[in-house]
Amino acid sequence: MRRRPKILAALAVVALPISLVGVSPGGSSAATAATPGPSSAAAAEAFRAASAKYGVPESVLLAVSYAETRWDDHQGKSSTSGGFGPMHLTAVVPGELIERSGGKLLAKADSLRTLYKAADLTGIDPGALRNDPTANIAGGAALLASYQRSMNLPVGADTSAAAWYGAVSTYAGASDRTSASAFADDVYAILAQGAARTTNTGQQLVMPAVKVAPDKAQLAKTGLPAAAAPKNAADVQCPTTITCESLPAPYESTGPTAGDYGNHDLADRPKTGKIDYIVIHDTEGGWQGTLNLVQDPTYVSWQYTMRSSDGHVWQHVNSNDVAWHAGNWYVNMHSIGIEHEGFAAQGATWYTETLYRSSAKLVRYLAKKNNIPLDRAHIIGHDQVPGTVPSTVAGMHWDPGPYWDWERYFDLLGAPIYGHKVFPVKAGTIVTIKPGFADNQQVVVGCTTAGVPCTPQGTNFVYLRQAPDDAAPLVKDLGNRPNGSDSTTQVSDIGGRAAAGSQYVVAERSGDWVAIWYLGAKAWFKSPASAPDAFAKPGLVVKPKAGKTTVPVYGRAYPEQAAYPTGIPYQTVTPLQYSILAGQAYPVGDANIETDYYRANTFNGQPPTDHVQVLGKDRYYQIWYGHRMAYVRAADVDLKLAH
């Protein structure tokens, strides 16, 4: 574990807050989002009317709004980049955004105040454009039409969506062609796929797929300059579809001994260890303070930082090297860490659509490059990383938290968390948790004040109880609460939660309730057949070998003692405070992990005693166990198909 814990929560940040609204949470498990039906009349009519009045194809208007806000209305509250309403009309004093961006103008100055330009075009009061979604949609349509006219392109609700690429690029408000075209490409990808969802205010909207070949030559008509070459472009490992620059983390000596250095380790992955995981973090601070920290040689490191307002990326550590980000050296050895600007207890205030889209593009690129499966066993939250030994479990991190939309994220990755309704949910089957997000508003407390309920917003989990009863206490987690007390609804308490995409083996079913094996015991959640929160799927499970009454689980898969050569101390493999009991089963996340230890204890160390991978013969499986993943020795268990 290297070297200091994350302390980003102490950083000050200047931002414009969002306030999300929705139904009050009730019960232990909120209902899954309804299957979208016909569009709600009010919202659908607002888009139709704006399309007809201002001469913008309705499909283009819907797709632009979806790319900006997924049609959500935040009732007069702004996004982190100063945008309002479903069309994200901006009202930012340019100096404010420059201050928040560390001296860099992220967009053209006039694009920072589109709300006022929309007011001029429509005659609608700026207050109404902020607070009234119908007016906001009209303002967005008027802007698109004005951009189209400025390029001498045809306007009309019946014009081809393909002919609006230039206007859509301009709507992005970007300062260069690369950023503008990235937004437009997202809009046209949404058009091609279609979209349907229930917004945060309960409005159902459906946009049928419209596959067109946009006229990308229109980008030249926008007048935007080409993007400046990124700093240290040769050092950047990013897809061309996002804006990315290099800001290297220091690798340097910090003291008198060879062990005093920072803030990452040189390696040659995958030769010195496979890259199996991409770890999703949040910064718990603003991006400028975060960038300052990663340049501190006495602090920790991670591979990438991503800005909330526009999805801009900085790369700090080469993906072939080992960053110090996970709090678990084995996971560090085998992972890439991405920090996302935001606060776990605030969620959607910072986790913007732009952030999700940019992050998904980066993760798809990295996963393909490193042969990492696009599933929740390999694209993981920091909250899934296990403690290394019993004493470290309680101090492990819980970001990106209950408000990170895993279902949306995996949709963007092109690997949806599917529901498998054809398989019955019964004892012995593997289930995948999929509770929906927007209207899965579980009760959470302590986001701003201890014990006070958090502002309702979508959550990514279901609560787990000790009995099939809404009034039953939440399950116990001896790692988080060694005194044996029950888990709580505190925002940071992940002990009694099963998050979207996680997998478990069903232990029992009783009416609407399902019991799963979780942390060595049964854990119950409500999943009625009419609105299920979990779906059965085939897969591999581990069970204790015959005659074993208990099997230990581990937080890392280090080699056996005989594997260590002279000069490299044996790294003790210590079981965690959990175990698998006879009769229990847990799903396998990965049956082909490396049993190894990357020795890197000194600055610029050399093999054979430093900067070397020690490989073992003792095999382990990665399993789903509680909220976090864990490892189990293959010699202790049988690998079987779930039944």
Q: Which of 221, 228, 203, 45 is nearest to 137 (CA)?
A: 45
CATH of region 41-222, choose from 1.20.1280, 1.10.3470, 1.10.530, 2.60.40: 1.10.530
Residues 430-449 have a mean pLDDT of 95
pLDDT of 625 over the 70 cut? yes
What local confidence, expressed as pLDDT, does residue 520 receive? 96
How far is residue 116's CA from residue 102's CA, in Å, rounded to a whole number?
25
Exposed / middle / buried, residue 365 (Cβ in 10 Å: 0-12, 13-18, 19+): middle
Strand partners, 80: none
Residue 234's pLDDT band, with cuts at 50, 70 and 90, is low
Residues 455-462 have a mean pLDDT of 94
pLDDT of 37 over the 70 cut? no
pLDDT of 108 over the 80 cut? no
Angle between helices 133-150 and 114-122 (to 10 degrees): 90
pLDDT of 110 over the 60 cut? no
Per DSSP, helices labelled H in 376-438 are: 406-412
Residues 295-312 have a mean pLDDT of 94
pLDDT of 384 over the 80 cut? yes
- Chain position carrying tokens 């060694």: 482
Dihedral over Cα of 424, 430, 436, 441: its sign = positive
What local confidence, expressed as pLDDT, does residue 39 receive? 64
pLDDT in tens, 47-70: 999 999 999 999 999 999 999 999
- Chain position carrying tokens 């454009």: 129
Residue 34's pLDDT band, with cuts at 50, 70 and 90, is very low
pLDDT of 22 over the 80 cut? no
pLDDT in tens, 120-171: 999 999 999 999 999 999 999 999 999 999 999 999 999 999 999 999 999 9
Residue 199's pLDDT band, with cuts at 50, 70 and 90, is confident
How far is residue 400's CA from residue 381's CA, in Å, rounded to a whole number?
6
How far is residue 615's CA from residue 608's CA, in Å, rounded to a whole number?
13
What local confidence, expressed as pLDDT, does residue 3 receive? 34
What local confidence, expressed as pLDDT, does residue 266 receive? 97
> What is the pLDDT of the chain when averaged over all its residues?
89
Angle between helices 41-54 and 133-150 (to 10 degrees): 30
Residues 370-387 have a mean pLDDT of 98
pLDDT of 99 over the 70 cut? no
What local confidence, expressed as pLDDT, does residue 309 receive? 84
Asked whether the beta carbons of 464 and 517 are under 8 A apart, the reply is: no
Domains 8-14+232-543 and 41-222 share a fold: no
Spelled out in words, what is the top-level CATH class assigned to the domain 8-14+232-543?
A: alpha beta
Q: Can you tell me whether residue 90 is helix, strand or coil? A: strand
Residues 72-85 have a mean pLDDT of 82
Exposed / middle / buried, residue 107 (Cβ in 10 Å: 0-12, 13-18, 19+): buried
In this structure, of 16-30, 367-381, 478-492, the range with the lowest mean pLDDT score is 16-30
Q: In percent, how much of the chain has pLDDT > 90?
A: 78
Q: Identify the helix (H) or strand (E) that includes residue 137.
A: helix 133-150
How far is residue 477's CA from residue 577's CA, in Å, rounded to a whole number?
10
What local confidence, expressed as pLDDT, does residue 15 receive? 30
What local confidence, expressed as pLDDT, does residue 16 receive? 27
Question: What secondary structure does DSSP assign to 283-312, as a single string?
Answer: -SB-HHHHHHHHT-TTS---SEEE-TTT--
Domain ranges of the chain: 8-14+232-543, 41-222
What local confidence, expressed as pLDDT, does residue 281 receive? 98
What local confidence, expressed as pLDDT, does residue 38 receive? 56
Residues 6+ apart with CB under 8 A from 388: 1, 327, 328, 329, 330, 555, 556, 574
First to last CA, the chain: 39
